[in-house]
């Protein structure tokens, strides 16, 4: 079955950078796009970036300078890198698969990122 699972460092100091990994199973990254969405505590959903099946990318323009996405098709992994972290980057970070009509049909369980000194 389709599964996505995020993994990340948990706690990062302000101004530092981080990398979060989304490991997928049950489908191929060469056939589906994968998005990153974050959710600050008690707040709504914010779209960050997508890596399409062909490897091209689209970024949230507000965060583009601090984000980088890549993937390893052979390992079924998608990588999100974010630099210059601030306290308002504290959030749950989800990866999600894009379905046929641009909905997000499968989501990971999320990985919590806390930015704090």
Partner 1 sequence: QIVLTQSPAIMSASLGERVTMTCTASSSVSSSYLHWYQQKPGSSPKLWIYSTSNLASGVPARFSGSGSGTSYSLTISSMEAEDAATYYCHQYHRSPPTFGAGTKLELK
Interface with partner 1 by CB under 8 A: which residues?
35, 44-47, 58, 60-61, 94, 99, 101-110
In the complex, what is the shortest distance from the CB of residue 77 to partner 1, in angstroms, rounded to a whole number? 19
> Which lies closer to partner 1 via its Cβ, residue 8 or residue 110?
110
DSSP for 24-75?
A: EESS-TTT--EEEEEE-TTS--EEEEEE-TTS-EEE-TTTGGGEEEEEEGGG
> Which lies closer to partner 1 via its Cβ, residue 13 or residue 88?
88
> Which lies closer to partner 1 via its Cβ, residue 15 or residue 25?
25
Chain centroid, CA 9 distance in Å = 13
Residue 22: strand pairing partners: 6, 78
In the complex, what is the shortest distance from the CB of residue 111 to partner 1, in angstroms, rounded to a whole number? 11
């Amino acid at each position: 079955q389709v599964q996505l699972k995020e993994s990340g460092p948990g706690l990062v100091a302000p101004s530092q950078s981080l990398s979060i990994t989304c490991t997928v199973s049950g489908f191929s990254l060469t056939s589906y796009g994968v998005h990153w969405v974050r959710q600050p505590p008690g707040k709504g959903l914010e779209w960050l970036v997508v890596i399409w099946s062909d490897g091209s990318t689209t970024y949230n323009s507000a965060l583009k300078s601090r984000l980088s996405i890549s993937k390893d098709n052979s390992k079924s992994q998608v990588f999100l890198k974010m630099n210059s972290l601030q306290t308002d980057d504290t959030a749950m970070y989800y990866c999600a698969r894009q379905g046929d009509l641009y909905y997000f049909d499968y989501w990971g369980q999320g990985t919590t990122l806390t930015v704090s000194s």
